[in-house]
Amino acid sequence: MQTTTPVVPAPTTAERVRTALIRADTTQLAVDGCEPIPTSVHHLREEGQVAVVVADDSLAVALARQAGSTGVPAMLELTDHSPILLRNPVRSLIWLSGTLQAVHHPRRLAAEIAEILPHPELLDVGHRSELLCLTLDSVVAADTTGAEAVDIADVLDAAPDPFAALETGWLRHLEEDHGDIVRQIARRLPPAHRSGRVRPLGLDRYGLRLRVESEGDDHDVRIPFHEPVDDPAALSRALRMLAGCPFRNGLPPRT
């Protein structure tokens, strides 16, 4: 009899892309004819454009302005690093490719974006910074399991994980203050995956990801919650349940 591998609940790739747009701590804008440029804001608009903020004296700004409505080919690379000091800290890479164009009224657009994303760098648009828009042609996401192309419509329809902004504090809390809970949860790993140091790698509404650092190689394992969670209280209870803890109050987050 043929057996099927059970499906472990996890965010869709489109959801992971939306979460990376919030969480990514290293971003580079690559444009033909100049070196990669760091960006301080990357906001996905409903029209399928990513608004980015770069230094106003960067070559990308000049090239986009010269190209006019035609724009220039460009790619935005997002790198998501673990907030825990791991041997290999990169958790995922996202490549957003398309056409980069200048914005006719950058300060007006910056004000509109600030209502949704109140980033301090938006205040500098028109002074020391400039706002450009990347109209997407393709999206590719990669992690330790491989790379996958994502439909742009799926990315626009997806929502970021509700814990995207809180994940750093929770993971550091587990790593620094609750190693006992991590060890208890690690007992759920297959025996072949326990030969190494188990570290908290990621946290989302569907479960906890663990990184096993061993002498031969590192590998990641997802431990799903009993059911998806949507608020910190439910997340705390879900983590306690994974650890086999009988207390209903759960794991209080670090303030």
**25: in domain:** yes
- 31 in the same domain as 98: yes
- Residue 67, pLDDT score: 93
- Residue 6, pLDDT score: 59
Domain closes at, from 125, 157, 189: 157
- 141 in the same domain as 200: no
- 203 in the same domain as 124: no
- Residue 216, pLDDT score: 72
**Domain span at residue 70?**
13-157
**36: in domain:** yes
Name the residue with tokens 């990308």.
60
- Residue 215, pLDDT score: 79
- Residue 155, pLDDT score: 97
List own/partner pairs for 110-115 with CB under 8 A and 24 or more apart: 110/53, 113/41, 113/43, 113/51
Given a cut of 50, the residues of the chain with pLDDT beneath it are 1, 3, 247-250, 255
| pLDDT tens column, 138-169 | 999 998 888 999 999 999 999 999 999 899 99
| pLDDT tens column, 90-110 | 999 999 999 999 999 999 999
- Residue 248, pLDDT score: 45
pTM for this prediction: 0.88
Query: Alpha helix locations (H) across the chain?
Result: 13-23, 59-67, 106-116, 152-157, 167-177, 179-186, 232-242
